[in-house]
Amino acid sequence: MRFYQHSLELYQTLEEELDSWFMHETKGLMWLAHTETQMRAERARSLLNLACGAETVMITPQEAKALCPQLDLSGGGRYPVLGASYHPAAATARHDRVVWAYAQGAMRRGVHVVQHTRVTGLVRDGERVTGVETSAGRISASVVLSAVGGSVSTVAAHAGVRLPIRTHPLQAFVTNGYDFPFAGIVSDTELLCYVSQTERGQMLIGAEYDAQPSYSLRSSFSFLQSSAAKITHLLPFLRDLRILRQWTGICDISADFSPIMGHTGVDGFLVTTGWGTWGFKAIPAGGEQMAQLIATGRAPALIEPFGLERFASDQTMADPGSTGTH
Amino acid sequence: MLWITCPTCGRRPVEEYSFGGELRGVREGITDPIARDIDYAWMYDNIEGVTVERWFHRAGCRRWLTLRRDTTTDSVVAYPLPGGPRGR
């Protein structure tokens, strides 16, 4: 949680630092709860957030309705809203703009970014990893960091490393334009889906990742069907909109829903993975802390608990709640 | 969408099934028994290609089956016999 909070602070100044605009906008995020158990979980979430300096409050159904007038508090009769946790500082940003801004910033500082090149293997000298085999030839390096999403197990297999990672597809879709403002981001603890409005006014709807691991980027109709059914219980106005576009990406989900950063047990080969569906908010801090790790050879205190060794030493993270904040 | 042929119930959509995970194993070359346990409990092959896995027909005959699925296309490529050798 502290790690993510640090990341959010870095985001605040990132636009200025990289000299580019990526639509970073503070919107506020609410997690709706429909049962006593979920209320308890949300209370725990808000207290944890508060303790780590991320302001989160419990709100009543009426307050939720005031923040988001489109909400049906009876949940279509099936999912009545008992309350919600509200995190006012939650923000969204345009993901591809962040990627490009980072790439440009890195190139200005003399980093080579090689595009359209596939990693085909790792160069090994005895037990050490000393470089990367790519479709464009061999690149030597004293330290190799795998920061790939999704296919990380395939890269790690080249070094003979197995990871506690499974790759799941995550789907989302947008509707056509909605002419009225929609406040913030609405998520639901029972239905596991979220809604927000894009800069263009389209409604963005996403849900949990697919149950079976897969590297396929194919979108499915059953996803559209199930998430549309879920979300119209809470936000009936969505029924009048049409689905415009649907897409799928693959996520690396770790066994304890927290990222894995650091050494792998093979000399010269590091990973940062397990970012699942929530890694976006952690980009600035993840990058900064990993750079420190590579430069000093030792994990900084902020990411020390995220090492791969935690699985062997029975110190897995009990922090899935953090992934759903911000 | 993924369709799976159950030996008892026939061809059914994936929504009827629960995913039971890949067949677990231990990486070759690990000899220490504790290290083997850790590897077995936590680590996945997470193969990008054909993988052997268990599925449970939750909304049907409620039996387990083992099949081979290609994770790059999310399609079933082969059905080993039910109750037969558990792959690998």
Is residue B57 domain-resident? yes
At residue B81, the pLDDT reads 53
At residue A257, the pLDDT reads 86
- Three-state DSSP class for A74? coil
pLDDT digits (tens, 9 = 90+) for A244-290: 999 999 999 888 888 899 999 899 999 999 888 778 888 888 888 99
Q: How far is CA A86 from the centre of its chain?
A: 19
Is residue B88 domain-resident? no
What range does the domain containing B17 cover?
Answer: 3-78
Is residue B85 domain-resident? no
Is the pLDDT score of A76 beyond 90? no
Cα–Cα distance, A25 to A173 (Å, whole number): 20
CA nearest neighbour of A279 among A95, A137, A33:
A95
Sorting pLDDT into bands at 50, 70 and 90, what band is A122? Answer: very high
Mean pLDDT of A85-104: 87
Is the pLDDT score of A2 beyond 80? no
Task: Give, for A101, the enclosing helix (H) or strand (E).
Answer: helix A95-108
Mean pLDDT of A58-76: 91
Cβ distance B22 to A213 less than 8 Å, yes or no, reads yes
Q: Which residue of B has its CA nearest to A256?
A: B42
Is residue B24 domain-resident? yes
Task: Give, for A19, the enclosing helix (H) or strand (E).
Answer: none
Mean pLDDT of A90-104: 87
Is residue B65 domain-resident? yes
Is residue B74 domain-resident? yes
At residue A163, the pLDDT reads 92
The tokens for A174 are 């947008």
Percent of chain A with pLDDT over 90: 36
- Residue scoring higher pLDDT (B35 or A2): B35
CA distance A317 to chain B (A): 13
Q: Which residues of chain B have pLDDT under 70?
A: 80-88
At residue A322, the pLDDT reads 63
CA nearest neighbour of A163 among A314, A33, A279, A310:
A310
Rg (CA), chain B: 14
The tokens for A164 are 């506690």
At residue B17, the pLDDT reads 93
pLDDT digits (tens, 9 = 90+) for A131-163: 999 999 999 998 999 988 878 999 999 888 999
Cβ distance B14 to A212 less than 8 Å, yes or no, reads yes
- Three-state DSSP class for B51? strand
* Chain A residues lying within 8 Å of B46, measured CB to CB: 153, 163, 165-167, 213
Mean pLDDT of A203-212: 88
Sorting pLDDT into bands at 50, 70 and 90, what band is A164? Answer: very high
Mean pLDDT of A105-132: 90
Mean pLDDT of A189-201: 88
At residue B27, the pLDDT reads 84
Q: How many domains does chain B have?
A: 1
At residue B62, the pLDDT reads 92
At residue B84, the pLDDT reads 47
Residue-averaged pLDDT of chain A: 88
At residue B87, the pLDDT reads 40
At residue B23, the pLDDT reads 86
Mean pLDDT of A38-61: 88
Residue B52 one-letter amino acid: V
Q: How far is CA A87 from the centre of its chain?
A: 17
Listed in sequence order, the residues at least 6 apart from B23 whose beta carbon sits closer than 8 Å to its beta carbon are B52, B53, B54, B66, B86, B87, B88
CATH code of the domain covering residue B73: 3.30.2270.10
ipTM of predicted complex? 0.83
Mean pLDDT of A107-133: 90
| A180 in contact with chain B, both atoms CB, cutoff 8 A | no
Is the pLDDT score of A220 beyond 80? yes
Is residue B54 domain-resident? yes
At residue B82, the pLDDT reads 53
Sorting pLDDT into bands at 50, 70 and 90, what band is A320? Answer: low
Q: How far is CA A257 from the centre of its chain?
A: 11
Chain B residues at the A interface, defined by Cβ less than 8 Å, are 1-2, 13-15, 18-19, 22, 27, 35, 38-39, 42-48, 53, 69, 71-74
Best residue in B26, B38, B46, B50 for a mutation probing chain A (most A CBs within 10 Å): B46
Is residue B49 domain-resident? yes
At residue B29, the pLDDT reads 83
Side-chain half-sphere exposure of B72, counting CA atoms within 13 A: 6
At residue A279, the pLDDT reads 80
Best residue in A158, A215, A253 for a mutation probing chain B (most B CBs within 10 Å): A215
The tokens for B10 are 């026939």
At residue A63, the pLDDT reads 93
- Residue-range domains of chain A with CATH: 28-89+174-247 (3.30.9.10), 96-164+255-316 (3.50.50.60)
What dihedral angle (degrees, nearest 10) is formed by the CA atoms of A219, A222, A225, A229?
-120
Sorting pLDDT into bands at 50, 70 and 90, what band is A326? Answer: very low
